[in-house]
Structure 1
Amino acid sequence: MNQSMITASVTMGQLQRKLDTISHNIANTNTTGFKSREATFSDLLFQQVNNQSREEYEVGRLTPNGIRVGTGAKIAQTAVRQDVGALMQTERQLDFALTEKNHFFRIETVENGAPVERITRDGAFYLTENPNNAQQLSLVTANGDFVLNGEGNRIAIPANFQSISFSQDGELEVTLRDGTMQNVGQLGLTNVLKPQLLDSVGNNLYRFPDLQALGFAVADVRADFAGNGQQVNQGFLEGSNVDLSREMNALIEAQRHYQFNSRSISMADEMSGLVNGLRR
């Protein structure tokens, strides 16, 4: 196959991945706590072709001798942008917004029948019945995953509560119907020290990879702590950090690159047709 066809087709496949990333960002413009991704490219292997071996013919040459024949480009990484989104006031007692980047809520979900810990920036929480205790309610996400406290345990709320408040010390305090106050723990947060290691698992959740296989200690990647009133705002939600104008510009640019490479394949095909049509 013509080398230009190979180069263009490989690059078009990678450009499609960038288009997928951009479309995913745009689709989540209004998703609470969503973090956009940005695709970056790197060159694939190339070959240096020295088409002029006699230096005496190159006296006074200003451009480098020879040409580089490449094989296209590839996606180097899709980096997660950790910029904090705009805070939206809801005045709802179970809405919480994180005010600093790289901070995440600790969540317990179920995968393959076993409980596992995941993290999220989506602080829209709800209450559901505790099947093991009729006198308690569990704090959960919109998908029914359990919210964890500073010790990594599920947060339980008395069923006869009247209101829930979040103190500056980070304590979740429940006012019961008889007027008494009860402390039900602190929201469990984690500070992600290497956010580019995070894997997206859907439903606005992230997970850590196998740190041992990558040669990292847990302390090098995350630091669990209990959030306080300076790091968590009650009655607010964090909006998506997707910049729609930025994404549209990136979309147009990627489409132009795609069209350029498509045209390169068409031109190579036309040239091959001309060569095949030559007659002696």
Structure 2
Amino acid sequence: MNRTMITATNTLAQLQKQMDIVSNNVANIDTNGFKRREANFTDLLFQQFNNGPGAPGAGDAGRLTPNGIRQGTGAKLAISKIVMAQGNLKTTDRPLDMALTAEGQVFRVLEQNDNGSAIRYTRDGAFYLTPISQNETMLVTGNGYPVLDENNNPITINAQASNFALSETGRLTVDVPGGGTASYDLGISYVNKPQFLEQKGGNLLGLPENMADLGVEAEEILTELNGPLRNQIGIAQGVLEQSNVDLSKEMTELINLQRSYQFQSRSISMADQMMGLVNGIR
């Protein structure tokens, strides 16, 4: 296999990864609070061939091109970066539908599975009540994950509660039997470094498992908006945030990907034809 084939093969594998990212964006265009990802590429190692005569600079008077030849080995996907731009808001007038109106803020929820439990993050504010006993219900996401308060505890609400009201600082207030009220401060965080967040499935984001290897602490990636920081929260009731996926942009990206894929495939075909001609020389 010659260098042309190696370069094209390396690039084809990375283009496939970018195509997977774009396809995932398109598939989630109708997912509440979904944040698109975009791929950034970087060059792989290249080899420098100095083919100029004599010492560097000798006989190069008036030269307009660099001396030597640089032959690369393709490109690779450097980073898949999440884009935290605000999505459009859709009015539902449902009391338990909540949308974060400040860019970079996320709800904290508790994901529970066979491997244990872990705090996850989401922009999807379509919440529901699920009964946990005869007198209590729990605030959960559409997938049944408990929504956490500012102390990272699940929010439990009286089963007979009514008149759900949400303040600008993310405090949920309800009327309870007996004429009283109860209030709950929703757990909300601000994402400082979104490039470190990983998609965990179910429209959830999470911290990477190898933070020690990355040399970063959880506090550097996320800031919990508790206490005085709750004044920074932007939230609205009775609305849902749509995904920030622009279908026309994603389709344009797919067309560009298709052309790049065809170009690299054509490079392999041309290299194979050239090798056939060389091998056919007698």
Corresponding residue pairs, total: 276
Instruction: Answer whether contact 1:38 1:80 (CA < 8 A) is retained.
Output: yes
Deviation of 1:228 (Å): 6.4
Instruction: Answer whether contact 1:170 1:228 (CA < 8 A) is retained.
Output: no
TM-score (norm 2): 0.92
Counterpart CA distance in 2 for 1:228 and 1:94 is 21
Counterpart CA distance in 2 for 1:245 and 1:274 is 44
- State the SS of the aligned residue for 1:122: coil
Counterpart CA distance in 2 for 1:196 and 1:183 is 37
Deviation of 1:164 (Å): 1.2
Unaligned runs of 5+ in 2: none
Counterpart CA distance in 2 for 1:88 and 1:128 is 24
Counterpart CA distance in 1 for 2:214 and 2:266 is 41
Q: Which residue of 2 aligns with 1:85?
A: 87
Which shifted more, 153-162 or 197-206?
153-162
Q: Which residue of 2 aligns with 1:102?
A: 104
Structure 1 residues 40-80: Cα deviation after superposition (integer angstroms, max 9, x where no partner): 11000000012233466655432112111110000010111
- Note closer, same or farther for the CA distance 1:248–1:240 as it changes in structure 2 (3 Å cut): same
Q: Which residue of 2 aligns with 1:136?
A: 136
Deviation of 1:219 (Å): 2.9
The answer on 1:234 being equivalent to 2:233 is: no
Instruction: Answer whether contact 1:167 1:228 (CA < 8 A) is retained.
Output: no
Instruction: Answer whether contact 1:44 1:74 (CA < 8 A) is retained.
Output: yes
Counterpart CA distance in 2 for 1:228 and 1:162 is 26
Counterpart CA distance in 1 for 2:195 and 2:185 is 27
Which shifted more, 109-118 or 235-244?
109-118
Q: Which residue of 1 aligns with 2:181?
A: 182
- State the SS of the aligned residue for 1:30: coil
Counterpart CA distance in 2 for 1:59 and 1:229 is 62
C-alpha RMSD of matched pairs (Å)? 1.9
Deviation of 1:221 (Å): 2.2
Counterpart CA distance in 2 for 1:98 and 1:127 is 19
Candidates 237, 246, 250, aligned match of 2:249: 246
Structure 1 residues 215-238: Cα deviation after superposition (integer angstroms, max 9, x where no partner): 333332221125569611010100
The answer on 1:74 being equivalent to 2:76 is: yes
- State the SS of the aligned residue for 2:225: strand
The answer on 1:149 being equivalent to 2:149 is: yes
Counterpart CA distance in 1 for 2:14 and 2:24 is 15
Which shifted more, 21-30 or 214-223?
214-223
TM-score (norm 1): 0.92
Counterpart CA distance in 2 for 1:248 and 1:28 is 14
Which shifted more, 219-228 or 157-166?
219-228
Q: Which residue of 1 aligns with 2:122?
A: 120
- State the SS of the aligned residue for 1:147: coil
Structure 1 residues 20-52: Cα deviation after superposition (integer angstroms, max 9, x where no partner): 111110111111000000001100000001223
- State the SS of the aligned residue for 2:276: helix
- Note closer, same or farther for the CA distance 1:154–1:59 as it changes in structure 2 (3 Å cut): same
Structure 1 residues 147-174: Cα deviation after superposition (integer angstroms, max 9, x where no partner): 0011111111111123311134532111
Which shifted more, 226-235 or 261-270?
226-235
Q: Which residue of 2 aligns with 1:272?
A: 275
Instruction: Answer whether contact 1:155 1:184 (CA < 8 A) is retained.
Output: no
Q: Which residue of 1 aligns with 2:266?
A: 263
The AA in structure 1 aligned to 2:41 is F
Counterpart CA distance in 1 for 2:155 and 2:74 is 52
Counterpart CA distance in 1 for 2:68 and 2:87 is 49
Deviation of 1:177 (Å): 5.9
Unaligned runs of 5+ in 1: none
